[in-house]
């Protein structure tokens, strides 16, 4: 049966949900407070990551976070706050950061990543719209033996999960990418990963959806959700009331404010990251993570993107130029011939990653409401997991069996 579906949020998760829902014959509307040209889904590193099998909440991260807390240039920074929402999130994060929980998450994260990558490839071959898609893998570049050892330990786990991973000497990594001089000790090379140019993809995706009858309302913020018994009946923006049969919340870092109106506490905090686009030749042809600096480097269509930092400081729009400069400086240490000019640094932009405490997304119908589906909390993997999440959302709303088991993504796992 065709339904009228309203999606709050036009990031990669909202657009992907609209794509599969529209294909199933539903009438879809997206509402977004922005003009759909900025935010996490536009500034991200564009890497599709079967390689990222370890969630952010891993043993040792809390200690590193505490050590880095007051540094203005460290990869992870936390603004101390007594806000109860953040304190609860931090406590749940700590509880999730155990070896056993991480081991349990590894195959779950890998499977949904591989599923999503297949869907990206299906979209690419479908000719629905054209986009830049390259499968050249991802190199974890390291400068210290200690980091090399840590990365290779993870690489070996990934091999056990069926991924193709190699441990390369510095000279071997250099040979694969002869035009960008590397200052490294070695690299762990995941052949599994692919990459895209997010802003171009988002633009093409939006045009495709508009051409295929999806209604997209921009610059309208949903300020309240109206409820009648066990159903959400409408949402209110400043301009209008929108009614629907089914509601999808793909509202990223802003989700806690919306679900609060349904009487729920879903822990999501924004993890701010920055990107610098270097619009000149860099010689970089294979995406990389600079592991000590935690910077992602992606050769996109016409430029190279350097992206990184995880700033836990609530929702705010400030660009911290010290952190942006730190991304540029650390990148120049791995690529000694690279010079990132001021014009590129001054043009930096940011996005807020919606982070759940355990690093797993929330995908599923709320049990306390008959017609509300949550699709958020994808943290550092939202770009990769967009199509998989969209497909799962469309299956849930169409009352079909889901393509993969979604028990671990239950939205109410912390209630
Ligand atoms: C620097 C950086 C690098 C990254 N690199 C990668 C990568 O290489 N690979 C990867 O897989 N992931 C990466 N990510 C993570 C990824 O970008 C995010 O997980 C993903 O974009 C989240 O998508 P989303 O649709 O959930 O949220 P968003 O893109 O934030 O979209 C949510 C939308 O909801 C709208 N909204 C919220 N509340 C309301 C409201 N009340 N009314 C109306 N609209 C509302 C917002 O305006 C927003 O447009 C990176 C992120 C950053 C910041």
In this predicted model, what pLDDT tens digit does every residue of 9-23 receive, in sequence order? 999 999 999 999 999
Question: At which residue do the structure tokens 């036009």 appear?
Answer: 10
Binned at pLDDT 50, 70 and 90, residue 284 comes out as: very high
Predicted model pTM: 0.97
What phi, psi does 229 have (nearest 5°)?
A: 65, -125
Is residue 271 within 6 Å of ligand 1 at its C-beta?
no
Is residue 247 within 6 Å of ligand 1 at its C-beta?
no
Between the CA of 380 and the centroid of ligand 1 the distance, in Å, is 9
Binned at pLDDT 50, 70 and 90, residue 57 comes out as: confident
pLDDT at 313: 85
Mean pLDDT score across all residues of the chain: 95
Q: Which atom of ligand 1 is nearest to the CA of 274?
A: 1
Is residue 41 within 6 Å of ligand 1 at its C-beta?
yes
Determine contact, residues 223/217, Cβ cutoff 8 Å.
Answer: no
Residue 322 reports pLDDT greater than 70: yes
Between the CA of 354 and the centroid of ligand 1 the distance, in Å, is 7
Among 359, 368, 367, residue whose Cα is nearest residue 409: 359
Distance from C-alpha of 202 to C-alpha of 188, rounded to nearest angstrom? 30
Is residue 15 within 6 Å of ligand 1 at its C-beta?
no
Question: At which residue do the structure tokens 């990251």 appear?
Answer: 273
Q: Which atom of ligand 1 is nearest to the CA of 380?
A: 15
pLDDT top residue among 54 and 197: 197
How much of the chain exceeds pLDDT 90, in percent? 87
Q: Indicate the top mutation candidate among 12, 43, 44, 385 to test ligand 1's pocket, ranked by most ligand atoms within 8 A of CB.
A: 44
In this predicted model, what pLDDT tens digit does every residue of 297-321 receive, in sequence order? 999 999 999 999 998 888 999 999 9
Q: For residue 72, what are its two tokens?
A: 């203005």
Is residue 198 within 6 Å of ligand 1 at its C-beta?
no
pLDDT at 272: 96
Distance from C-alpha of 76 to C-alpha of 64, rounded to nearest angstrom? 8
In this predicted model, what pLDDT tens digit does every residue of 206-237 receive, in sequence order? 999 999 999 999 999 999 999 999 999 999 99
Residue 69 reports pLDDT greater than 90: no
Q: Indicate the top mutation candidate among 205, 260, 383 to test ligand 1's pocket, ranked by most ligand atoms within 8 A of CB.
A: 383
pLDDT at 54: 87
Between the CA of 310 and the centroid of ligand 1 the distance, in Å, is 14
Residue 61 reports pLDDT greater than 80: no
Determine contact, residues 248/393, Cβ cutoff 8 Å.
Answer: yes
In this predicted model, what pLDDT tens digit does every residue of 134-192 receive, in sequence order? 999 999 999 999 999 999 999 999 999 999 999 999 999 999 999 999 999 999 999 99
Determine contact, residues 42/65, Cβ cutoff 8 Å.
Answer: no
pLDDT at 70: 67
Considering only the C-alpha atoms of the chain, give the largest distance between any 2 of them, rounded to a whole number of Å. 65
Determine contact, residues 198/205, Cβ cutoff 8 Å.
Answer: no
Q: Is 295 helix (H, G, I), strand (E, B) or coil?
A: strand
Residues forming beta bridges with residue 278, ordered by sequence position = 304
Nearest protein Cα to ligand 1, atom 50: 44
Is residue 258 within 6 Å of ligand 1 at its C-beta?
yes
Q: Indicate the top mutation candidate among 353, 373, 386 to test ligand 1's pocket, ranked by most ligand atoms within 8 A of CB.
A: 353
In this predicted model, what pLDDT tens digit does every residue of 96-135 receive, in sequence order? 989 999 899 999 999 999 999 999 999 999 989 999 999 9
Give the pairing of strands 288-290 and 138-142.
parallel
Least confident range from 55-69, 351-365, 385-399: namely 55-69
Q: Write down all domains in the chain, each with its CATH number in brackets.
A: 4-409 (3.50.50.60)
Q: Which atom of ligand 1 is nearest to the CA of 271?
A: 53
Distance from C-alpha of 86 to C-alpha of 83, rounded to nearest angstrom? 6
């Amino acid at each position: 049966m065709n339904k009228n579906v309203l999606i709050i949020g036009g990031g990669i998760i909202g657009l992907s949900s609209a794509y599969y829902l529209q294909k199933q014959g539903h009438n879809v509307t997206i509402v977004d407070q922005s003009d759909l040209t900025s935010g996490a889904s536009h500034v991200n590193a564009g890497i599709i990551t079967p390689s990222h099998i370890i969630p952010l909440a891993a043993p040792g991260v809390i200690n590193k976070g505490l050590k880095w807390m007051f540094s203005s240039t460290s990869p992870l920074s936390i603004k101390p706050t007594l806000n109860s929402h953040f304190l609860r999130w931090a406590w749940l994060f700590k509880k999730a950061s155990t070896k056993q929980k991480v081991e349990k998450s590894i195959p779950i994260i890998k499977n949904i990543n591989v599923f999503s990558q297949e869907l990206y490839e299906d979209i690419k071959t479908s000719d629905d719209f054209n986009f830049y898609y390259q499968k050249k893998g991802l190199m974890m570049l390291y400068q210290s033996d200690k980091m090399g050892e840590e990365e290779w330990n993870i690489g070996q786990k990934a091999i056990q999960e069926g991924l193709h991973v190699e441990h390369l000497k510095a000279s071997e990594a250099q040979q694969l990418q002869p035009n960008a001089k590397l200052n490294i000790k070695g690299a762990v090379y995941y052949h599994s990963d692919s990459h895209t140019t997010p802003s171009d993809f988002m633009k093409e995706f939006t045009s495709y959806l508009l051409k295929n009858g999806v209604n997209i309302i921009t610059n309208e913020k949903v300020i309240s959700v109206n409820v009648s018994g066990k159903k959400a009946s409408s949402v209110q923006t400043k301009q209008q009331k929108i009614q629907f049969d089914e509601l999808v919340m793909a509202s990223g870092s802003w989700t806690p404010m919306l679900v609060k109106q349904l009487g729920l506490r879903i822990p999501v905090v924004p993890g701010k990251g920055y990107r610098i686009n270097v619009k000149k030749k860099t010689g970089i042809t294979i995406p990389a993570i600079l592991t000590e600096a935690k910077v992602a480097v992606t050769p996109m269509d016409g430029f190279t993107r350097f992206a990184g930092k995880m700033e836990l400081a609530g929702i705010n729009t400030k660009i911290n130029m010290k952190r942006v400069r730190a991304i540029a400086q650390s990148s120049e240490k791995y690529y000694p011939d690279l010079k990132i000019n001021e014009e590129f640094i001054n043009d930096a932009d940011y996005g807020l990653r919606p982070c759940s405490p355990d690093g797993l997304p929330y995908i599923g119908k709320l049990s306390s409401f008959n017609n509300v589906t949550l699709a958020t909390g994808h943290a550092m993997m939202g770009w990769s997991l967009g199509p998989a999440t969209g497909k799962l959302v469309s299956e849930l709303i169409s009352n079909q069996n889901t393509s993969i088991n979604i028990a671990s993504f239950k939205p109410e796992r912390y209630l």
